[in-house]
Chain A
Amino acid sequence: MDILKEISEKLQLGDDEKVSVFTKQAIEEKIPPKEILDKGLIQGMDIIGAKYKVHEIFLPEVLLAAKAMHAGMAILKPMFIKEGIPSIGKVVMGTVQGDLHDIGKNLVGIMLKGAGFEVIDLGNNVSPLKFIETAKKENADVIGMSALLTTTMPVMKRVLDLLKEEDLCDRIKTIIGGAPVSEEYAKEIGADAYGYDSANAVEAVKKLVRNEK
């Protein structure tokens, strides 16, 4: 079987060990890393995403596939750096200051990594300044913020205000999420996107880095 197809299929089965083995084999066969990523790993994740959307598979299968994706990416990443190939996007994310609830944010992180994004997870209780400074330092494309409490939601706006002050809104996009957050709230505070669940957040981040609305 075509090695890239093999990678895609093993990824869909959530078999991280086999994905590692076949990714290494593909490199040995001199297949360009970008092609391994696009036609092997991402192709597999796209199928997983589509199946998840129509409830053919459930979240555990998606997370396992994401784990396998991550295993493949770990092998490809040094090569991308070496060859100067940029990642599909870098996301700085965290739960906002005053809020310790990070389960949803973690899920989004796993899914983003699964989709091939570079993720810098700042954890929980993250101050607005930390978001901005890290994003600047890491040259991130997107800042993702999560909140579970209505009392901590306003911190998101403070991050956006800081971005405006520093005139970074064009360069760094923002996405917010969390149980009390809504699309309306995102619009109200001027965030670029809102993700209603982890899969939706990944789709939204993809659009943000492609500069789509």
Chain B
Amino acid sequence: MRPIVRFLSDELIERIISEARDVLCNLGVEIHNKNILSMLQDYGAKVEMDRYYVLFTDEIIDRALKTVPRSFKLYDVLGNETHDFSGYNVYFTPGSAALNILDYSSKKIRKPKTGDYIRYAKVISKLNNIASQSTAFIPADVPENISDSYRLYLSLLYCEKPVVTGAFTIEAFNIMKEFQLTIRGTKDELKVKPLTIFSCCPTSPLKWSDVTSQNLVDCAHFSIPIEFISMPLSGFIAPVTLVGTLVQHTAETLSGVVISQLTNPGTPVLYGGSPAIFDVRYETTPMGAVETEMIDCAYNEIGKYLGIPTQAYISLSDSKQLDAQAGLESGVGATLAALSGINNISGPGMLDFESCQSLEKLVLDNEICGMVLHMIKGIEPKEDFPSLPRFEELKKVQHLLISEHTRKYLREVFYFPGPIIDRANRTRWQAEGSLTLLQRAHSEVEKLIKDYTPSRLPDSTKKELTKLMEKEAHHYGMERLPKKPG
């Protein structure tokens, strides 16, 4: 039996959705994009163009909920299926778009460069429990206008896994879409085999900026999957109660669902988010707070109730380094997320309120993900009945270490973490250098980079991607792309 955790009753979910509809239809949403407002108007929504305001109707909400896909799949750069976002399937993806990385040698944060991004892509390509890559941080050695497309370019070049990403400007979408068309060949093929998920974020409370709403529409036109990242902050720009925050999250996310489905019915979306409680002592948004995680799990239940696959930023930490807090918050988050069946779980590698990626944390989190993915397989009998013969064998041989039953099921029923997780006895641990978690994680990072095998994407495609990127860089005044180390 797959274990499942629930926080909301169906009655409460229905009430939250009904309240959110009430907000959408009677208070409305601010959308700073006249094309989208016109489209909504054409479908019967009441629009105040001057105030960028729209009152939704139950009809367009119902219409969107009818066409929104109940599941979709993702494929790697080679076209192999990697994800089936349906039911309670869960996949992990690194936390995305950090501004900083935590440098192992100096133990300080710094702005990442091209070389750092390539190291990241090499590491993530070897992590078995993290199914996709994300554009995890923003290289600072290219102009800002191409910092979004450049990281996608590097990801597609160095790692075969599909990518969770997003554009920072309206213009950048074009090149990011071109990369994907270059790999898939045609728009239709890209629709059949999606390669990326774009994060599109409403602005709390109840607003869409021109850029993010246009990104949403552009993705929809190309059937590129979208994850809605609504970010209400409980007690600050959302009601302090978790239910109140959920009403706001539902309204904001539903508004995105409506825009995507009216633009192109059947556009695949993830009912996602990155809400948080607001810590009124530090004026921060703790992603590792248990209430934040409860909101994530709960809106995932609402998404499931609406029949939409889900996403959340949940297995991450606010700690500044790879310490016990980092493990605690990421571990609890990943466990709750998986038990709740959040389909795309974002967070591994991330520290410091989604602002800092650490490769050492990423490889530790890969182990957390491995344990959690193993846990949700649940407990099932495996030739356990009748039990008597096995216990007779045990009494006779005095151990079951080489029993056929043990050898058949050992690797299935136990998850064997890598060397980052210390399970040696103290003497062996001392004999092997008394290494700390951080030291073990770092040596694993270096090992993975050393063992990296290049992406099997054809060289001709890689060259085309580079040509596109060079052209884009040139357009924004950069003569040459940064040199790729190693």
Contact = CB atoms under 8 A, between A and B. Distances in A.
Interface in A41-100: 55, 58-60, 63-64, 67
Nearest to A194: B427
Contacts of B410: 58, 60
Given A60-B407, A183-B427, A196-B427, A106 B402 contact: no
Contacts of A183: 427
Interface of A: 14, 55, 58-60, 63-64, 67, 103, 106-107, 182-183, 194, 196-197, 200
A14 B403 CA distance: 13
Interface string B178-212: 00000000000000000000000000000000000
Interface of B: 398-399, 401-402, 406-407, 410, 416, 419, 425-428, 431
A14 B404 CA distance: 12
A106 B401 contact: no
A182 B416 contact: no
Nearest to B419: A55
Contacts of B425: 196-197
Contacts of A196: 425-428, 431
Contacts, number: 34
A60 B403 CA distance: 8
Contacts of B406: 60
Contacts of B401: 59-60, 63, 107
Across the A-B interface, give the 6 residue pairs with the lowest CB-CB distance, nearest first.
Answer: A196-B427, A63-B402, A196-B425, A60-B401, A60-B402, A196-B428
A67 B428 contact: no
12 contacts: A14-B402, A55-B416, A58-B410, A67-B402, A103-B399, A106-B399, A182-B427, A196-B425, A196-B426, A196-B428, A197-B428, A200-B428
A197 B419 CA distance: 18
Contacts of A59: 401
Nearest to A183: B427
Given A58-B410, A182-B427, A103 B398 contact: yes
A60 B419 CA distance: 20
A14 B401 CA distance: 13
Nearest to A106: B398
A182 B425 CA distance: 10
Given A14-B402, A58-B410, 5 more contacts: A59-B401, A63-B401, A64-B402, A197-B425, A200-B428
A64 B426 CA distance: 27
A118 B402 CA distance: 22
A100 to B, nearest CB: 12
A144 B329 CA distance: 45
Contacts of A200: 427-428
Nearest to B407: A60
Contacts of B407: 60
Contacts of B427: 182-183, 194, 196, 200
B64 to A, nearest CB: 51
A106 B428 CA distance: 20
Contacts of B399: 103, 106-107
A119 B287 CA distance: 58
Contacts of A60: 401-402, 406-407, 410
Nearest to B411: A58
A55 B410 CA distance: 14
Contacts of B431: 196
Nearest to B425: A196
Nearest to B400: A60
Chain B CB count within 10 A is highest, among A58, A103, A194, for: A58
Contacts of A182: 426-427
A146 B427 CA distance: 16
A58 B409 CA distance: 13
A139 to B, nearest CB: 28
A15 to B, nearest CB: 13
B149 to A, nearest CB: 41
A197 B427 CA distance: 9
A29 to B, nearest CB: 30
A80 B198 CA distance: 73
A185 to B, nearest CB: 11
A209 to B, nearest CB: 21
B127 to A, nearest CB: 18
Nearest to A186: B427
Nearest to A182: B427
A207 to B, nearest CB: 14
A66 B431 CA distance: 25
A60 B421 CA distance: 21
Nearest to A64: B402
Contacts of A103: 398-399
A79 B67 CA distance: 81
Contacts of A194: 427
A182 B428 CA distance: 11
Contacts of A107: 399, 401
Contacts of B402: 14, 60, 63-64, 67
Nearest to A66: B402
A103 B399 CA distance: 8
Nearest to A58: B410
A107 B397 CA distance: 12
A64 B431 CA distance: 27
Chain A CB count within 10 A is highest, among B399, B419, B427, for: B427
Nearest to A102: B398
Contacts of B398: 103, 106
Contacts of A67: 402
B422 to A, nearest CB: 13
A55 B417 CA distance: 11
B454 to A, nearest CB: 25
